[in-house]
Chains A and B, each alone.
Chain A
Amino acid sequence: DAKTTQPPSMDCAEGRAANLPCNHSTISGNEYVYWYRQIHSQGPQYIIHGLKNNETNEMASLIITEDRKSSTLILPHATLRDTAVYYCIVRARYNTDKLIFGTGTRLQVFP
């Protein structure tokens, strides 16, 4: 079973920041938080990942709470092309690439 809980859907106005929450209260010290998105049955696209520090790249920012039990993915200026299903995944640090996908959050960006 997935170790994360996400809201099933969210809306965001184009140009505004999209903040997608994820709960992973049972995460262990040897597990990363990963975010992927999937646009209309294409292969999932890697967005960002982090262990305990906040992370930022050209696509998004990842804010992880100090106790690591939850995180927020931030898309700073959402566009229509960001409409997708976003998956938050807890991934083992060592020895396996297995990803356990939950149902994700369907983000709808509207004009």
Chain B
Amino acid sequence: KAGVTQTPRYLIKTRGQQVTLSCSPISGHRSVSWYQQTPGQGLQFLFEYFSETQRNKGNFPGRFSGRQFSNSRSEMNVSTLELGDSALYLCASSLGAGGTYEQYFGPGTRLTVT
């Protein structure tokens, strides 16, 4: 079974631009979560989706948004990029929402903002 895939793997953007990252969960998984990893803040939770509904959101500004489609694929968008948005963005998927279900991560998208 294929793992979680994320596209693109690397991205370079300029301050002020916007970016869309994509995540395809493991087949059959309905829950998708997003995380940001930076050297200074570590791994931080962005938001999670289950059956197209946002269940939970982390402490990030409104410039960060996401959505989930009916096939469970998810996208996250960052508008008006800032230098501090440079990070590894990770997506994770699981069968359902809750600790009963193992959660698997993708390889991440490395975003560089110049």
Contacts and interface: CB of A to CB of B under 8 A. Distances in A.
Of A43, A45, A51, chain B has the most CB atoms within 10 Å of the CB of: A43
Interface residues on A, range: 20 to 34
A93 B96 CA distance: 11
Interface string B75-114: 0000000000000101010100111111111111010000
Contact of B106 (A43, A51, A98): A43
Interface residues of B, number: 31
Given A96-B98, A97-B97, A98-B58, 20 more contacts: A32-B99, A32-B100, A36-B105, A41-B37, A43-B92, A43-B107, A44-B43, A44-B90, A45-B105, A91-B99, A93-B98, A94-B98, A97-B33, A97-B50, A97-B55, A99-B43, A99-B92, A100-B45, A101-B43, A103-B42
